Amino acid sequence: MPIFINESLRQFHLQTKESSYIFCVLKNGQLGHLYYGKKVNHRENFSHLFQLPNEPIGNATFLYKGDQTFSLEVIKQEYPAYGTTDFREPAFHIWHENGSRITRFVFQSYKVIKGKPRLEGLPATYVDNENDVTTLMITLYDEISRVELQLQYSVFEHESVITRSARLTNDGHHPIVIERILSAVVDYPDAQFEMIHLDGAWIRERHITSRVLKKGVQFIDSKRGTSSSQHNPFFALKRIDATEHIGDVYGFSLVYSGNFIAGVEVDHYDVARAFIGINPFDFRWILHSKESFQTPEVVMVYSSAGLNGMSQTYHRLYASHLVRGPWRHRPRPVLINNWEATYFQFHEEKLLAIAESAKELGVELFVLDDGWFEGRNDDTTSLGDWVVDRNKIPSGLSELVKRINEKGLQFGIWIEPEMISEKSRLYERHPDWVLKAPNCSTISHGRNQYILDLTRQDVRDYLYHTISHLLEHANIAYVKWDMNRNMTEIGSSLLEASKQGEVAHRYILGLYELLERLTNTFPHVLFESCASGGNRFDPGMLYYMPQSWASDNTDAFERVKIQYGTTLVYPISSIGAHVSAVPNHQTGRVTPLKTRWHVAMFGAFGYELDPAALSEQEKQQVKKQISFFKKYRTLLQYGTFYRLMSPFEGTDAAWMVVSEDKREAIVAFYRFVAKPNPSFMRLHLKGLHPSLKYEVMIDDQTKVLYGDELMHIGLFLPPFYMGTVKTKETVMMGDYVSCLAVLKAIE
């Protein structure tokens, strides 16, 4: 049993394979935090972990008369309040009918449940077998305001994962106003950490940022309505001396796709308080009598094997316990997408020609991107109508799909359901369906488009029926669900004034409801989420759509950084990655076809170019790439992934995947800037079996080496055959070069 309870002392110990998380009920009835870190044995008394100063504390405030030590300011807590002696970042802030902002949640009861209850209306991790997780529900209650707080802790004991969320219920007669309600707060005894997060912008998403914690509040957030490419809803606290592969790391990943906040406060005693949840900025939720509010889930991972250990846990957990449906664990088809090949300018014949030659190259799925619906010749028009453009596709959509199917390819389609163009029939009929604050006569556009008000049931019904119609009338196997702008002037014409502060969150709930309906109705369809590339690459979307387009940037060099950062949390199978043409459309950079392939193959792999523009030699190369990929795709997409060299720390990068039985592995090394007269380098591989003998194949050169040699002595780079092979490609000359080593155990 992963949950131990010292009943009389009211202490709770959540124990996983590697970690212990211990908390208690304090004497004022609130929950106090005692420990989170490497696993310790359970004992019948953890009271010694609770510390108060021996001396009265100067300039503090106290809960008990005559006691100048019991101040919440110095006590580590589970779900801290503001206004009752703690001045740090609180977990919640509630306004009561009488103007009070004081809520005293006092422990009432607990229960332990096998399995994990679903979070109403929200995506969350799940299990097929309820023995895989145990949940502790703690109920706290404020007698005066009659508000109940339920804290849910689910323990994945075999994974060193604890998920947390909170649920507030108004048990009184008057409405309350929630201004802040986070998913979790964790108090650490010190602040000797680096905070690692994923930041960026359009076409440079999820770059790794690392900062040593400093006094004060440091946080990342999104106010954009999407989780955003500026900051991913994730951060890790890494011990200063921890590395990629060694040392203590704590990950916090929020299963949410909207405005979030995630940060750490280091206080005047140099202790750290980590917090994460819905962004309190521009959030105001009225909770009427008997209503409940459920926060999103945060997935907390403890790793003693550095950042990579944390990432592997997230990869396993998200691939098995977040992604759902028939595509879970299933290798993804090799696709060709026409966007960078044609943009809006295409005709049915061109699409068929692309499909035809793609099929010859080995592609399995043809994806028709933006521009297929009436009037959509640029990005100023037609979003919302979703009727095929007969000028471009004279035979109609279902006929086109049929023809592509006849060529032996599956068919996929791009849609951007959450959007509406001013120039559309939908806008003419329903201008009130636009997301818009009540006092706005004009609203800002993004890519010439507005956002549909997904808080409205009628809008969601329209979208459900329109998309269902599309999927029912043509044999569509894949949907790329795009979302190309951030929210501005947020408001809804259906909600009363006092509820306008709920719109951003209600939008996300509406989106989740729509996705739940659609994915239940069309479980066989592979959905790929996209938001101007990676503007909404988060665990919330992954629950509905097993893969996400990582970035509109398809440049191999940029992609190594983007994909490297993305792997901090997200599994390879979820990272949409394509080989595109050169010069690259986002950077103008020219990289070898081989390098582009070596990068994109570590993902949900495909091509985004016009095969007609490839030379005969390139076509042969692509054919070989695809057949290699098909041979190894389970290993590439579902193997254990190791980051070996960071592109953020130099001009080389490397990573590898290893099969579960350790008998196969693929290593990729990328060199962005040529080094004249380079020194020999050794790439220390990971995750191999030390005493297995591996055949190491780089291009057509092989060597036999033991696992322990490869891990401890290293694989010599540039490739060990340097100087013996004549071609420019294989000796790795020039910029943006790469090599791939395929390892197979031979005994």
In the complex, the residues that contact ligand DGJ under the rule CB under 6 A are: 339, 369-370, 414, 482, 484, 530, 532-533, 549, 552
Nearest to 7 by CA among 44, 40, 34: 44
Q: Minimal distance in Å, beta carbon 610 to ligand DGJ?
A: 15
CB neighbours (10 Å) of residue 144? 12
Nearest to 470 by CA among 396, 545, 370: 396
Q: Minimal distance in Å, beta carbon 534 to ligand DGJ?
A: 8
Q: Minimal distance in Å, beta carbon 402 to ligand DGJ?
A: 24
DSSP letter, residue 553: -
Q: Minimal distance in Å, beta carbon 531 to ligand DGJ?
A: 7
| CB-nearest residue to ligand DGJ | 370
* Cα 655 versus chain centre, distance: 20
CA torsion sign for 185, 190, 191, 196 is negative
Q: Determine whether 482 is an active site residue.
A: yes
Q: Which is nearer to ligand DGJ, 341 or 626 (CB)?
A: 341
Q: Which is nearer to ligand DGJ, 166 or 545 (CB)?
A: 545
Q: Both ends of the chain: CA-CA distance in Å? A: 39
CB–CB of 637/604 below 8 Å? Answer: yes
Instruction: Please list, residue by residue across 458-475, b when 16 or more beta carbons sit within 10 angstroms of its beta carbon and e when fewer do.
Output: ebbebbbebbeebbeebe
CB neighbours (10 Å) of residue 439? 8
User: Which residue in the list 187, 370, 552, 610 is annotated as catalytic?
Assistant: 552
Q: Which is nearer to ligand DGJ, 139 or 380 (CB)?
A: 380
How deeply is 217 buried, as exposed, middle or buried, from its count of CB atoms within 10 A (0-12, 13-18, 19+)? middle
CB neighbours (10 Å) of residue 26? 21
Q: Which is nearer to ligand DGJ, 173 or 447 (CB)?
A: 447
Q: Which is nearer to ligand DGJ, 526 or 644 (CB)?
A: 526
Cα distance between residue 129 and residue 481, in whole Å: 31
Q: Minimal distance in Å, beta carbon 482 to ligand DGJ?
A: 5
- 228: region left, alpha or beta (phi > 0 left; psi from -120 to 50 alpha): left
User: Any idea which residue has 């996400």 for tokens?
Assistant: 548
How deeply is 587 buried, as exposed, middle or buried, from its count of CB atoms within 10 A (0-12, 13-18, 19+)? middle
Q: What SS3 class is residue 308?
A: helix
Q: Minimal distance in Å, beta carbon 195 to ligand DGJ?
A: 29
- 312: region left, alpha or beta (phi > 0 left; psi from -120 to 50 alpha): alpha
User: Which residue in the list 369, 389, 482, 652 is annotated as catalytic?
Assistant: 482
Nearest to 148 by CA among 66, 92, 231: 92
Q: Which is nearer to ligand DGJ, 339 or 527 (CB)?
A: 339
Q: Minimal distance in Å, beta carbon 517 to ligand DGJ?
A: 23
**Phi, psi at 400, each rounded to 5°:** -60, -45
Q: Which is nearer to ligand DGJ, 578 or 686 (CB)?
A: 578
Q: Which is nearer to ligand DGJ, 449 or 519 (CB)?
A: 449
Q: Point out the residues that are catalytic.
A: 482, 552
